[in-house]
Amino acid sequence: MVQFGYDDDGEDIRPVPRTPSPRKTPQKKTSSTGKAEALRAAQLSALASRTPSPLKALKMSVEEATTAQLEAAMHRLLQINDAIRAVPFMTAEESQAYLAQQRARVQEFEKQRAQRHSAAQQYLKRLTEEIVNDEGRLAEARKALEAERAKKQKEEKERAEARAKAEAEEKRKQEEEQKARDAQAKALADAQNAKKAQDAQKAAAEKQKQDAEKQRQQQQAAAAAAAAASIPASAAQGFASAAGVPGADCSAEAWKTAEPLLARLKTIKNDIRPKAYQPAYQTALMKAKMDIKARIGQQTMSQKKIITIAKHVSKNLEDGKGASQEVYETLLDITAKCIVQQAEREVAVKTSQAYPLALISVMLYTKHEPLLDILLGRLYKKCPYLIPQYFKKIPGEGEDQQRKRIGMKMMDDNWETEEHFWERMGGMVALYAGIVQTTTVPHKYDMDKGWIWLARTLNMKPRRITPVLIYKFLEVAAFRLEQTYRQQIRKLMQYIYETYIPAMAALPNPPTPSITRLQSFIHDQYLQNGKFDEPAGIKLEA
């Protein structure tokens, strides 16, 4: 006997061989009806265990199920029905009942399929709505992206236009500046040519004036020689020291430059000033003196205000020149003295103040040429280190006499400290450096004179004050010095750094802080970076 069933994929109905029961010894039939019922129950149970395989196809998702598959399932049910009918031990009623049961299960599966299909349709609808929403958001995002791209393109275009405009403006400014420089150079050339013409015209008159001055100096020398017999020995010794002979260390060439300027100060003091302070000029002279002192004390970092100050001082000098030559030279001496005092007080404390004070000095002496010699004479007298000149102790000279001779001051019945003295000297050296480095106004006492001073100083044996003097000069003028002497400046700085600074450090009781400051300035500013930085204050405010 065979048993009908299905394979695992539910496609075909195949006869499933049934394992034959072991042969038993025939027994006497007892209750055949009960055995038949038991057998049918066993077969129905076996058939029921085989039926779930074709029903797997009925459980397919709505997306995978097709009409053909459903028809195949119904066909398989009919095959099941035929198979059941073929079983000889199954009655028609039992087959119909079983078939009805299977159809009910198929209907249940169909109902579940319909539900899944409905759920799938709803899910598909939601998915479609989400896709539509996503497409809307994507369109908005694309629109925003395009707007952002357009905005960036617009900004880039505006930046490019701004750059082009700035470059055009810069080019225009450069062209205007070049035109201005060309015009200035042309004006300067015209002025120089005019000056040369004037100098040619004044040459004869100047020669006559120099001859007269030479004759006057000879007369003064003769008078001084005649009066020398009446000077006490101590005073004569002091006069000789001031002339650069005993107690002073100075080159002959440097003293040859400084001596006539110092002599002119004596002439102004002894001969010219007494004539200027006559009753007819005294009131106007004192008023002009007060105004000059106040104006120079108002120096500022504003170029416009400096020009105003220079104009007021120049006006006083012009008025004095109109009064008499003695009044004019006295006012020139007063102006030079005020400038030097300002350097002692202000520049000594704040080095950047050297630039405006130097500009005032240059503007005044270019208009009143005799002021330059008087100003240099005042600087040499107050700060002999600008000659350059050092001092050594004279045998038998007291400590107070030596301090007075080198220019130290009494402050509250005591001599000023060495540090305060060095500070004052440094202020005057800074003013001198400011004058020689000034290029705002063309003038004759330029950087060449500063180079000569520095070379003469380095050719002398260093003293304790030497690092202060060199540092103050370089602090103010190194930037212009490098621009003027580009080829020689490196050798000079290397010489100072490698040779002269060690010589200063080898002095008895060396001024270590001053030496270190100078050493660091040269190393950090030039040897390390290859150039000196533009100092603060060199460019004045408009």
Each residue of 178-193: pLDDT tens digit? 888 888 788 777 877 8
Residue 70, C-beta contacts closer than 8 angstroms, at least 6 positions apart: 110
Between 170 and 60, the higher pLDDT residue: 170
Tokens 């520049």 sit on residue: 347
User: How far is it, in rounded angstroms, from Cα 292 to Cα 309?
Assistant: 9
Instruction: Give tens-digit pLDDT for 131-148.
Output: 888 888 888 888 998 998
Q: What is the DSSP string of 197-220?
A: HHHHHHHHHHHHHHHHHHHHHHHH
**Is the separation of the CB atoms in 474 and 485 below 8 Å?**
no
Whether residue 232 is preceded by a cis peptide bond, meaning omega within 30 degrees of 0, is no
429: closest CA among 489, 464, 469, 397?
469
Instruction: Give tens-digit pLDDT for 353-365.
Output: 999 999 999 999 9
50: closest CA among 92, 18, 74, 85?
18
What is the model's pLDDT at position 275? 93
**Is the separation of the CB atoms in 447 and 371 below 8 Å?**
no
What pTM was computed for the model?
A: 0.57
What is the model's pLDDT at position 383? 96
User: How far is it, in rounded angstroms, from Cα 247 to Cα 241?
Assistant: 6
Going by the DSSP 8-state scheme, the letter that residue 10 receives in this structure is S
Instruction: Give tens-digit pLDDT for 314-335.
Output: 999 999 999 999 999 999 999 9
Confidence of residue 489 (pLDDT cuts 50, 70, 90): very high
**Is the separation of the CB atoms in 379 and 386 below 8 Å?**
yes
Q: What is the mean pLDDT of residues 234-238?
A: 32
Q: What is the mean pLDDT of residues 20-36?
A: 50
